[in-house]
């Protein structure tokens, strides 16, 4: 119905005032005079069907509507290839056609012209229009039908004389990643060499190919495909060369391939070992992402974010390509600029982390692992996290051991061969350096969990804040458990039990909470942010696990018992958490009860302009603990480093600077495997009054929290508060 209405409208537009038909791009066949002029309705129907088939991409249907002479001049394969090539070059995704008018040639009844507009939709250039186009039609009396007198000029007029369509892409240079103090962590200061050649200037392609493949590192079949699909006078981009390879091979490539060279910026990580787990790397798109990448204007050769901030902020860092769609002649002269799009500038990203502090923490870890021979004890690695307790900004997040993220760059500064060797070593390293331990390492929490257990038993009302218990060193209720201190701690209260980490006290806490309600302790642990994602959006994180009765029944087929709660109360059993979760919990205790979303990006924007993004603290939840409970727990944590029976007092007592500001924390020693040393934890916040930061150090299979993790935290705090270099 729509087609018939359009035909009727076009026929009504025939008036005495008609434009002259265009000169035919190829001579029209001479036909005998027709006794009766053919009706124009058939011409309109042919034109509309032809253009509708173009919209649908049905080239066979289009070809069937061509005149006999047009079909003789252009076989179906060539016709289809022409349209396909143009569509690919344009990055065409769709088109719509609207008719203007239809008129007959005043001198020939068998020739008509259809005027129409086309709106093109493209991936790279957006939408653009090409108006007042003309489609010439010829009446064939043999079959009594109108047919299209076609040439390549019906796609664009300039293509009729051998013009070639060319898309010139302008990809913005990737923006930088900075730390919070404007130090460049990722930039475009590296350089590589791009090699190109014109097909008809290569005297011996096989000899050229034998040089190109090893120089560029590309598969010969891929290079052959580029060669085969290029016109004789096209400039073919053949690949890239490392600078050292260019220096060795450019003369031979110039002589054999008539090669042309240009320089291109590449990604370089200025301090590649400082925060590889955060910054991430760039690379070629994954096949699964290619459709989305192409929709954004990029292609399979684009260098885009693959991991870390490079991936999560890729859209801003990469900007958006611009381009020009041209039709050029064999000499490369521009016959027409069909369309143009402006590139969107990329935006730099400023992180919340302090690169110098990251480096200082790595040096501290190096010293402890060397001096204390922690790797010899079975320790594969460690974590350190520092959070701003009032905003959730991640000021440091170190995963140890580190590695150089430049290894994963498409054009690594150390060269492809060296990078490949290092990459293989990283992937087989038993220490698993590629694991981002602060967010993906999950561990039993050990005695740091007693902080959550103390909050749960006091806030629920199961225990009074001054609940007393006599610790003899042994706890028995159908099962027998022992204290870490032979002989026990004597009579303790809730605060002093937490300060000196009395195991029997917390065995009883777990038992009593389970008697009250088996769900209580797991629920408080989750309320404090344990065993669940922290809300960090820029890096993958493991949720960990806080088991509860339902989880155990579903996943093990075994019913929950009081021993599960007893194990959980001291951070053992199936419980597993990440260092970032524990840091966030201590930040909430320090700030009065707010669980902030941990964030890694401080701002983003174009250098020299107002930022387009600025971090806003995101209070995701409140732990909703009675203030008097938090006060008691905080005082107990502060006593850990100051009172004689505090488990970390011996690490801080001779440190007047830190004693003056006050460090409040909890040691943890978590059993993991009987054949390995325990995990060492120390979680803390500082200063005591008006806390600024929460900090957690976790060293895998390294010993006791008080002996290993606490002094590492102490040394990091020296750097943070007093700029004492490691």
Q: How far apart are CA 487 and CA 485, in angstroms?
A: 6
Q: Where are the beta strands (DSSP E) in 401-531?
A: 468-471, 474-477, 479-482, 490-493
Can you tell me the mean pLDDT for 453-468? 97
Q: What is the largest CA-CA distance in the chain?
A: 123
For residues 691 and 23, the model is more confident at 691
Q: Hey, what are 3's tokens?
A: 């087609």
Q: Which fold has domain 395-403+436-722?
A: Beta-lactamase (3.40.710)
What confidence tens digit (pLDDT) does each residue in 414-457 have?
Answer: 877 888 999 999 999 999 999 999 999 999 999 999 999 999 99
pLDDT higher than 50, residue 366: yes
H-helix segments, 217-337: 220-228, 243-257, 276-279, 290-295, 308-312, 314-318
Q: How far apart are CA 635 and CA 97, in angstroms?
A: 76
Q: How far apart are CA 211 and CA 218, in angstroms?
A: 11
* DSSP-derived secondary structure for 327-369: EE-TT--EEEEEEEEPPBPP-EEEESS-HHHHHHHHHHHHHHH
Give the model's pLDDT for residue 3: 47
CATH code assigned to 2-159: 3.10.450.100
Nearest-CA neighbor of 650 among 659, 641, 658?
A: 641
**Three-state SS at 31:** coil
What confidence tens digit (pLDDT) does each residue in 667-694 have?
Answer: 999 998 888 999 999 999 999 999 999 9
Q: Band of the pLDDT at 28, cuts 50, 70, 90?
A: low
Q: How many CB atoms lie within 10 A of CB 16?
A: 4
Q: How far apart are CA 504 and CA 497, in angstroms?
A: 9
Q: Where are the domains of the chain?
A: 2-159, 170-349, 395-403+436-722
What confidence tens digit (pLDDT) does each residue in 369-421 have?
Answer: 999 899 989 999 999 999 999 999 999 999 999 999 999 998 887 877 888 99
> How far is C-alpha 675 from the chain's CA centre?
38
Class of domain 170-349: alpha beta
Q: How many CB atoms lie within 10 A of CB 328?
A: 17
Nearest-CA neighbor of 495 among 691, 587, 629?
A: 629
Question: How many secondary structure helices (H) and strands (E) does the chain include?
Answer: 26, 27
Q: How many CB atoms lie within 10 A of CB 26?
A: 14
Instruction: At 207, give phi and psi (nearest 5°).
Output: -65, -40
What confidence tens digit (pLDDT) does each residue in 485-512 have?
Answer: 999 999 999 999 999 999 999 999 999 9
* DSSP-derived secondary structure for 102-115: EEE-TT-TTEEEEE
Q: Hey, what are 218's tokens?
A: 């590309």
pLDDT higher than 80, residue 190: no
Sequence-ordered list of residues with C-beta below 8 angstroms from that of 353, at least 6 positions apart, any chain = 179, 180, 275, 278, 394, 395, 396, 397, 600
Q: Hey, what are 95's tokens?
A: 């088109």
Task: State the residue for tokens 């898309």.
Answer: 167
**Three-state SS at 288:** helix
Query: What share of the chain in percent tops pLDDT 90?
Result: 77
Residues written for the chain: 726
Nearest-CA neighbor of 448 among 622, 676, 698?
A: 698
pLDDT higher than 70, residue 97: yes
Nearest-CA neighbor of 265 among 334, 150, 172?
A: 172
Give the model's pLDDT for residue 238: 87
pLDDT higher than 70, residue 1: no
| Contact present, 55 and 94 (Cβ < 8 Å) | yes
Q: How far apart are CA 148 and CA 129, in angstroms?
A: 22
Half-sphere exposure of residue 692: CA atoms within 13 angstroms, side-chain side: 8
pLDDT higher than 80, residue 233: no
Give the model's pLDDT for residue 16: 31
Give the model's pLDDT for residue 29: 53
What confidence tens digit (pLDDT) does each residue in 102-115 have?
Answer: 999 998 999 999 99
What confidence tens digit (pLDDT) does each residue in 236-271 have?
Answer: 888 888 778 888 999 999 999 999 887 777 899 989
Q: Hey, what are 644's tokens?
A: 């004689």
| Contact present, 42 and 146 (Cβ < 8 Å) | yes
What is the per-residue burial (b if ≥16 Cβ within 10 Å, else e) of 90-128?
A: bbbeebebebebbbbbeebbbbbbbbbebebebebbeeb
For residues 33 and 531, the model is more confident at 531
Give the model's pLDDT for residue 24: 41
What confidence tens digit (pLDDT) does each residue in 535-592 have?
Answer: 999 999 999 999 999 999 999 999 999 999 999 999 999 999 999 999 999 999 999 9
Q: What is the residue-averaged pLDDT of the chain?
A: 92
> How far is C-alpha 199 from the chain's CA centre?
38
Can you tell me the mean pLDDT for 178-190? 91
Is this model's pTM higher than 0.85 or not?
no
Same fold, 2-159 and 395-403+436-722: no
Give the model's pLDDT for residue 232: 77
Q: Hey, what are 566's tokens?
A: 């007893």
Q: Band of the pLDDT at 36, cuts 50, 70, 90?
A: confident
* DSSP-derived secondary structure for 56-69: HT-HHHHHHTB-HH
Give the model's pLDDT for residue 35: 65
Q: How far apart are CA 298 and CA 346, in angstroms?
A: 14
Strands 177-178 and 348-351 turn out to be: parallel
Nearest-CA neighbor of 437 among 336, 300, 576?
A: 576
Give the model's pLDDT for residue 32: 45
| Contact present, 629 and 636 (Cβ < 8 Å) | no
Angle of helix 579-591 relative to helix 449-459, nearest 10 degrees, comes to 40
| Contact present, 114 and 137 (Cβ < 8 Å) | yes
Q: Hey, what are 457's tokens?
A: 């038993």
Instruction: At 433, give phi and psi (nearest 5°).
Output: -65, -20
pLDDT higher than 50, residue 5: no
| Contact present, 318 and 346 (Cβ < 8 Å) | yes
Cross-strand bridge partners of residue 482: 474
């Amino acid at each position: 119905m729509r087609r018939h209405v359009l035909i009727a409208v076009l026929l009504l537009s025939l008036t005495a005032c008609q434009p002259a038909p265009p000169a035919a791009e190829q001579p029209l066949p001479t036909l005998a005079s027709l006794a009766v002029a053919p009706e124009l309705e058939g011409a309109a129907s042919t034109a509309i069907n032809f253009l509708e088939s173009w919209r649908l991409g049905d080239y066979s249907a289009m070809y069937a509507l061509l005149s006999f002479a047009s079909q003789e001049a252009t076989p179906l394969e060539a016709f289809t290839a022409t349209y396909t090539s143009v569509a690919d070059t344009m990055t065409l995704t769709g088109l719509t056609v609207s008719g203007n008018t239809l008129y007959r040639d005043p001198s020939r009844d068998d020739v008509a012209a259809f005027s129409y507009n086309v709106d093109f939709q493209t991936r790279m250039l957006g939408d653009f229009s090409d108006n007042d186009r003309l489609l010439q039609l010829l009446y064939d009396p043999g079959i009594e039908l109108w047919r299209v007198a076609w040439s390549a000029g019906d796609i664009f007029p300039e293509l009729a004389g051998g013009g070639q369509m060319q898309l010139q892409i302008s990809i913005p240079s990737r923006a930088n990643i900075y730390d919070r103090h404007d130090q460049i962590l990722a930039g475009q200061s590296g350089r590589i060499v791009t090699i190109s050649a014109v097909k008809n200037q290569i005297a011996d392609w096989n000899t050229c190919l034998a040089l190109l493949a090893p120089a560029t590192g590309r598969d010969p079949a891929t290079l052959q495909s580029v060669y085969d699909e290029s016109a004789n006078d096209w400039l073919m981009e053949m690949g890239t060369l490392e600078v050292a390879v260019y220096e060795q091979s450019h003369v031979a490539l110039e002589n054999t391939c008539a090669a042309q060279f240009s320089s291109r910026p590449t990604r370089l990580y200025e301090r590649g070992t400082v925060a590889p787990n955060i910054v991430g790397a760039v690379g070629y798109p994954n096949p699964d992402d290619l459709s989305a990448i192409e929709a954004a204007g990029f292609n399979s050769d684009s260098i885009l974010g693959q991991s870390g901030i490079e991936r999560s902020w890729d859209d801003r860092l990469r900007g958006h390509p611009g381009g020009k769609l041209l039709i050029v002649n064999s000499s490369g002269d521009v016959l027409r600029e069909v369309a143009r799009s402006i590139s969107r500038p990329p935006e730099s990203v400023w992180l919340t982390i302090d690169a110098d502090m990251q480096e200082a923490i790595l040096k501290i870890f190096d010293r402890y692992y060397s001096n204390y021979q922690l790797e010899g004890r079975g320790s594969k690695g460690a974590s350190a996290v520092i959070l701003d307790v009032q905003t959730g900004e991640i000021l440091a997040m170190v995963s140890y051991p580190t590695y150089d993220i430049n290894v994963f760059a498409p054009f690594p500064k150390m060269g492809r061969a060296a990078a490949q060797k290092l990459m293989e070593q990283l992937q087989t390293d038993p220490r698993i350096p590629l694991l981002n331990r602060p967010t993906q390492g999950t561990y039993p929490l050990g005695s740091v969990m007693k902080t959550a257990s103390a909050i749960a038993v006091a806030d629920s009302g199961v225990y009074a804040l001054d609940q007393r218990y006599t610790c003899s060193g042994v706890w028995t209720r159908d099962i027998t458990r022992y204290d870490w201190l032979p002989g026990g701690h004597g009579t303790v209260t809730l605060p002093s039990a937490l300060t000196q980490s009395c195991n029997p006290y917390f065995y009883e806490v777990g038992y009593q909470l389970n008697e009250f309600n088996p769900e209580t302790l797991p629920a408080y642990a989750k309320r404090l942010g344990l065993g669940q994602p922290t809300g960090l959006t820029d890096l993958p994180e493991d949720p960990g696990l806080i088991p509860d009765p339902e989880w155990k029944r579903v996943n093990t087929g075994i019913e929950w018992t009081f021993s599960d709660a007893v194990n959980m109360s001291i951070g053992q059993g199936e419980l597993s958490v990440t260092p970032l979760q524990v840091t966030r919990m201590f930040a909430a205790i320090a700030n009065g009860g707010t669980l902030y979303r941990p964030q890694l990006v401080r701002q983003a924007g174009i250098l020299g302009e107002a930022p387009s993004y600025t971090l806003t603290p995101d209070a995701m939840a409140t732990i909703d603990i009675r203030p008097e409970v938090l006060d008691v727990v905080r005082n107990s944590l502060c006593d850990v480093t100051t009172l004689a029976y505090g488990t970390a007092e011996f690490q801080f007592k001779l440190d007047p600077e830190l004693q003056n500001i006050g460090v409040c924390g909890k040691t943890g020693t978590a059993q993991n495997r009987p054949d390995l040393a325990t995990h060492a934890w120390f979680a803390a916040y500082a200063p005591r009054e008006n806390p600024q930061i929460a900090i957690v150090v976790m060293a895998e299979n390294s010993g006791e929290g008080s002996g290993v993790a606490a002094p590492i935290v102490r040394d990091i705090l020296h750097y943070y508060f007093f700029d004492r270099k490691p």
